[in-house]
Structure 1
Amino acid sequence: MKFRGKTYHFNYILGLLIVSFVFLIVLIGFFYTPYDPNKMNAALKNSPPSLSHFFGTDNFGRDILSRVMKGAGTTYIIAVAIVSIGASLGTAVGALTGYFGGWFDEVLMRLNDVLTSFPSILLALVFVSVFGPGSYNIIFALGIIFIPSYARVIRSEFIVLKERDFVKNAKLMGAGSFRIMFMHILPNTKRVLIPSLLIGFNNAVLAEAGLSYLGLGVQPPQASLGRMLSEAQSYLLDSPWYAIAPGLMIILTVLGFSLISGGLENE
C-alpha cells in the first residue's frame, strides 16, 4: 500500500488501525465513561452483558466497560512513564559509551550487563516488595530496569554512525562532542529507536499488568488492566465476561504495536 509515494506493509496499516481504535477508547475514557467506574451497585453484582452494560458488571456491580476505559488509560500512562525513564536514560548511556568508548564504555556496559543478568520482573518484584506497592514505585522500578535494553541499541548505532562522513565533517567544522552526539548522530538512530520505543511500550504494558495482577502495582479502587484481571480471576467460571474486556485491551495493544514495529523494521 502506498501513501504519499511511500510503500507501507499491510501489517503496518493493520497495526495503526488497531492502535487507533484502542487509543480512541482510552482518549474518550479521560473525558467520558458510561458510568462512574468506581460506583458500586449491589443489585447488579456480576450481571451479564446487556444493552445497559455492554461488558456486564463486576463483583461490586461496577460497569466493566467504564472501568476498562479508565483502567486502560491508567495502564498506558504508567507504560509511557516507564518507557520515558528507560529510553531517556538508556539513550544517554548508549550515546556516551558508543561515542567515547574506552574505559568509560567498559565500566558502564559492565554495569549494564550486571543489570541485564537478572530477570527484569524479578528485580521489579524485589524493588516493589522493599518499597511497597503502588503506581509510582513500579514506574521507577521498571523504568530503571528498561535502561539496559535502550543503552545497548543506541550504543551499537553510535559505534557505527560515529565513523560516517557527516560526523567527520561536523568535527572539521568545530562542532563539540555533545552537539555531534545529540544533534547529528542521535537523529539518525530513529530507524532502530522508534521500533524499540514501540516494543518497549508493549513490554511496559505487560509488566504493569503483571505486577498489578500480583497486587504490587495499581491499588484498589483505582482500575488498571492488570488490576481488573486480578479481580476477575475468582469469577472466571461464573462471570467470564469480567476478564474478557481487560484481556482483550491488552491483546489488541500488544498486537497493534507489534505490527507497527514490525512494519517499521521492514521499511
Structure 2
Amino acid sequence: MKKKQKNYNLILGSAIALFMLVFLLVGCFYTPYDPDAMNGVAKFAPPQGTHLFGCDHFGRDIFSRVMKGTGTTFLVAIATVALGGGIGIFIGAFTGYFGGWADEVLMRFNDAVFSFPHILLALVFISILGPGKYNVILALSVVFIPSFARITRGEFLAQREMDYVKSARLMGVSHLRIMFVHIFPNTLPAVLSMAAIGFNNAVLAEAGMSYLGIGVQPPDASLGRMLSEAQTYLMSAPWCVLFPGLAIILLALGFSLLSDGLLKKGGR
C-alpha cells in the first residue's frame, strides 16, 4: 500500500497563519503600550526588555503598533476576500450552472475587467473614492471579483453534468439548492485555495497602497505606512523597518503556503 505523502505546505502554512491570527487577536484586546502614544525620551530606542521591537522616530512602541497594524491589514484583507469573493462566487456559480446568453455577457465583461492589472485598477478606484480603509476594501473587492468568478465558473461547468446533479434535477430539487447544497461543497478546495491567494494579494496590495499614502490613513496603524515612515531611518534604526516588514512577509507567506497546500489536498 502506497504511503500518503505529508502535505508540508498545508501544515506550515496553517501554523504560520494560526500564529499571526493569535498575534493580531491578542492585539485587539491588549497592547503593552498605546500604539499612538509618543514619548520623546524613547525616540529610536532599540529593541530591549521594555520595548521588544524598539521605538520609532516619535518614540512610539513598535511592538504595539505592529500588533495593531497587523489587525488593520488582516481586517482589510479578510473583508476584501469576503466581499469580492462572495460576489465573484455567486456570479461564477450562476454563469457556470445556467450557461446561455447570461454566461456569455457576464463572462465577457468579467474578462474585460480581468485584463487590467489588479493593482492599477485598484489605484483608479482609490483615485475616485479617495484614500481610507473602507475605500481600499471596496476598491480591492471590485478587482478581485473576476478571479473568483472565473474559478467558480470553471468548477460549476465541470460539475453540472455529473450524475448526482442530473439525479437531483429529476427529483425536482430547486436550482438554488442544487447550486449551493449539492455542487458548491465539491468546489470548496478550489474556492478556499483562491480565497487564500486572494487574501495574500490583498495583504500585499493594502501594504503597497498604505506605503504610497493612499491606503489606510492615520490614526489607524498600518504596516505599509509604518514602512513608509521608517524608510528614512533604514540605516540608523533598522528595527523600525524590520518588524513591520516581517509581519507582512509572515502574513503573505502563511496564506501562500496554505493556498498551495489546499490545492494539493484537493488534487489527491
Normalising by structure 1, we get a TM-score of 0.95
Matches of 1:125 and 1:139, distance apart in 2: 12
Q: What does residue 136 of structure 1 align with?
A: 134
Q: What does residue 26 of structure 2 align with?
A: 28
- For residue 60 of structure 1, report the CA deviation from its aligned partner: 0.7
Residue of structure 1 aligned with 2:103, choices 96, 102, 105: 105
Asked if 1:192 is matched to 2:199, the reply is no
Summarize deviations over 1:186-221 as a string: whole Å, max 9, x none.
Answer: 111012011111111111111111111111111122
Q: What does residue 92 of structure 1 align with?
A: 90
Matches of 2:5 and 2:170, distance apart in 1: 37
Letter aligned with residue 230 of structure 1: S
Matches of 1:160 and 1:147, distance apart in 2: 20
- For residue 8 of structure 1, report the CA deviation from its aligned partner: 3.9
Asked if 1:48 is matched to 2:46, the reply is yes
Matches of 1:82 and 1:162, distance apart in 2: 28
Q: What does residue 266 of structure 1 align with?
A: 264
Aligned residues: 263
Residues 211 and 226 in structure 1, CA contact (< 8 A), matched pair in contact too: yes
Q: Find runs of 4+ consecutive structure 1 residues off by over 6 angstroms.
A: none
Letter aligned with residue 183 of structure 1: V
Query: 3-state SS of the aligned residue for 1:203?
Result: helix
Asked if 1:74 is matched to 2:72, the reply is yes
Q: What does residue 177 of structure 1 align with?
A: 175
Letter aligned with residue 91 of structure 2: V
Residues 82 and 142 in structure 1, CA contact (< 8 A), matched pair in contact too: yes
Letter aligned with residue 57 of structure 2: N
Residue of structure 2 aligned with 1:219, choices 189, 209, 217: 217
- For residue 230 of structure 1, report the CA deviation from its aligned partner: 1.3
Where structure 1 has 5 or more consecutive residues not aligned to the other structure, the ranges are: 1-5
Q: What does residue 65 of structure 1 align with?
A: 63
- For residue 11 of structure 1, report the CA deviation from its aligned partner: 2.4
Higher mean Cα deviation, 143-152 or 232-241?
A: 232-241
Letter aligned with residue 154 of structure 1: T
Letter aligned with residue 25 of structure 2: L
- For residue 10 of structure 1, report the CA deviation from its aligned partner: 2.1
Matches of 1:29 and 1:190, distance apart in 2: 31
What percentage of residue pairs aligned between the two structures are identical? 60
Matches of 1:248 and 1:208, distance apart in 2: 15
Residues 8 and 263 in structure 1, CA contact (< 8 A), matched pair in contact too: no
Where structure 2 has 5 or more consecutive residues not aligned to the other structure, the ranges are: none
Higher mean Cα deviation, 164-173 or 44-53?
A: 44-53
Q: What does residue 166 of structure 1 align with?
A: 164
Residues 57 and 242 in structure 1, CA contact (< 8 A), matched pair in contact too: yes
Letter aligned with residue 201 of structure 1: F
Letter aligned with residue 146 of structure 1: F
Q: What does residue 245 of structure 2 align with?
A: 247
- For residue 7 of structure 1, report the CA deviation from its aligned partner: 6.3
What do you get for the CA RMSD once the two structures are aligned? Answer: 1.4
Letter aligned with residue 36 of structure 2: N
Letter aligned with residue 101 of structure 1: G
